[in-house]
Structure 1
């Protein structure tokens, strides 16, 4: 039987990896004729396409949603929907804020934020790991970096959740998604206006004063940049933390290694084994032939990062969650000019959260009957992980 792949298949939300394995083995270049999309699943092909921005363009955006895919995608996704040199110029406006050196300097403050959220949870000894820990820390951290007022953070988190979450089967933005995105944009405009009147030392001030090619950024450009940074800085870190927590629970022997000091390995293997971003979309700029299959110019190509990260040609015993493996070839944060700007921050946040937890608890359990997964077509993770802990 021929393998069939659709990013809208609800079963993929449960476990996409058996299908990914069949794609790699029998259909490394897969065409879904009904959706007119192509999917690449082998590590070598996905990695090469991520690095080839000339052949695999981001100009139409990295998502399939018809409401935001196309030549106007940059109005919503900013530099995530641009190719060099425009991508390079726009990304440079914010890249210094997310440099590894800048991130390292933030560790004491991030640790303070983590402890603030952990202490109430530790006192209760029973909490929801996602809503009480994983969702709160990334929002506070990215909000401080950008300059989001403290009083607005809970509402921003609520709106981001509404903007991302889809009912099962949804193939595009729902009215609720669009309404939440509009409400977020109104907040962004207000925050920037406040910084224009009262400059600070945060990224909001930088953007309010920034220019490209000698022209100040428009409100629309700033809104797109802020939307990208706030949602990506929050959503990816949140799902990474939840996935790490879940898979260590499912593999007690690996959890023991993590709690014995292998926190960084825990983060990196989670990124490989069950990465939050499952695929990115690119638009082919010329006819290409891969594995004997012709892909036409203009094709929408899904680069299946989740499949590539479990390619046995690169990772031995790839279906095993193993903190001892070499993960340096994992492509969870993409590659080439679009390598994720927030990768150092996501890694740092995850390491600190998990380190602080490992220092406080000796074991934990998750209630399997109350686990809730997020439904989107390309983000994999949880919206609820009810947890009971045993303190040290």
Structure 2
């Protein structure tokens, strides 16, 4: 266990796979009530991040409501539409030959998908994407810059208007479903619905976009593994990227009762970081963890968490990633080249803001 020496942000951190797994599955001792990141730590975190900043049983009821839109059947039904959107975006990129893998291609596909689920009109999606990208940016000291705060306010205003529109004219989208839903006989407040939309709008973009960028980058760095990927090992490509280059690095928890780790007392009220990305490199679980290897067993990876807070969008992120990579492999030659990437500046999210790519069509 790591103990922070920074007096302004005191925290503890767990990095071993078994320790992270144990804490993740114990929401009674390791609470989400103050959010999942140190820089946004607050007892009012649910106003911004909705049900991921709740604990059972409230979290259980809220999650069950949202999960209806992400059921296995509903996710599977999205595949033809995801493939259609991918082919449309990809054909334009391939024609250019040189393009930015992030901004010109992959970030637009999950945004289209989540926007259709939420009910964001096509004409508004570029603006919503721009605000969502600003929302997750951080300054050099990892605090929220003014641009991120401003983008949050813009998104809150936009979603508030969208909620009002669906009150007047309900549709088949998630906003309409949330307006009609009840938890313990009570309707959701506008603030609760808006928080769900903020969460899904950002998470629906970030998780898939960063996963795909990391997969594309790591395959280029490991030509032998890229050959396996282009020979058909798409799902292994995704899973090993999730392990080797996790886009989600860590989550924070509030310790609710005194606990002891390795002889060190951690008092109630402490901040505990669960380092999922480090757990995915634990040699006790993943032999030779520094090797990018599509043939390894990734069954124990923790990239989407575990327990009651297992990522609700994991199946959708995997589906989107599989479809996009399948279409890429079918459309371009294996020996693509990447230029100098630009990494996103974030304490929690690992991935690229830009990834120049040159391809040749098959």
Structure 1 length-normalised TM = 0.90
Match of 1:215 in 2: 186
Match of 1:382 in 2: 352
Match of 1:9 in 2: none
Match of 2:22 in 1: 48
**1:309–1:331: 8 Å Cα contact kept in structure 2?**
yes
Match of 1:141 in 2: 113
Counterpart secondary structure, 2:312: coil
Q: 1:217-296 to 2 correspondence within 5 Å?
A: 217-296=188-267
**In structure 1, how many angstroms separate the alpha carbons of the residues matched to 2:260 and 2:246?**
28
Deviation at 1:33, TM superposition (A): 4.2
Structure 2: segments with no counterpart, 5+ residues: none
Match of 1:71 in 2: 43
**In structure 1, how many angstroms separate the alpha carbons of the residues matched to 2:147 and 2:97?**
35
Counterpart secondary structure, 2:142: coil
Cα deviation digits, residues 140-184 of structure 1 (max 9, x gap): 0111111111111000000011111123x2332122111100100
Match of 1:304 in 2: 275
**1:374–1:381: 8 Å Cα contact kept in structure 2?**
yes
- Is 1:37 the counterpart of 2:11? The answer is yes
**1:60–1:73: 8 Å Cα contact kept in structure 2?**
yes
Q: 1:1-392 to 2 correspondence within 5 Å?
A: 28-34=1-7, 35-65=9-39, 68-167=40-139, 169-368=140-339, 370-392=340-362
Deviation at 1:364, TM superposition (A): 4.1
**2:342–2:355: 8 Å Cα contact kept in structure 1?**
yes
Deviation at 1:100, TM superposition (A): 1.9
Cα deviation digits, residues 296-351 of structure 1 (max 9, x gap): 11110010011000000000111100000110100000111000000000000000
Counterpart secondary structure, 1:378: coil
**1:77–1:224: 8 Å Cα contact kept in structure 2?**
yes
Counterpart secondary structure, 2:66: helix
**2:36–2:251: 8 Å Cα contact kept in structure 1?**
yes
Aligned-residue RMSD, C-alpha: 1.1
Counterpart secondary structure, 1:114: helix
Cα deviation digits, residues 158-211 of structure 1 (max 9, x gap): 0011111123x2332122111100100111111111111111111011012222
**In structure 2, how many angstroms separate the alpha carbons of the residues matched to 1:145 and 1:326?**
33
Structure 1: segments with no counterpart, 5+ residues: 1-27
Q: How many residues align?
A: 361
**In structure 2, how many angstroms separate the alpha carbons of the residues matched to 1:54 and 1:75?**
21
Deviation beyond 4 Å, 4+ runs, structure 1: none
**2:133–2:202: 8 Å Cα contact kept in structure 1?**
no
**In structure 2, how many angstroms separate the alpha carbons of the residues matched to 1:223 and 1:204?**
9
Structure 2 length-normalised TM = 0.97
Q: Which moved more, 1:262-271 or 1:287-296?
A: 287-296
Cα deviation digits, residues 13-58 of structure 1 (max 9, x gap): xxxxxxxxxxxxxxx3433342211111100100110001011000
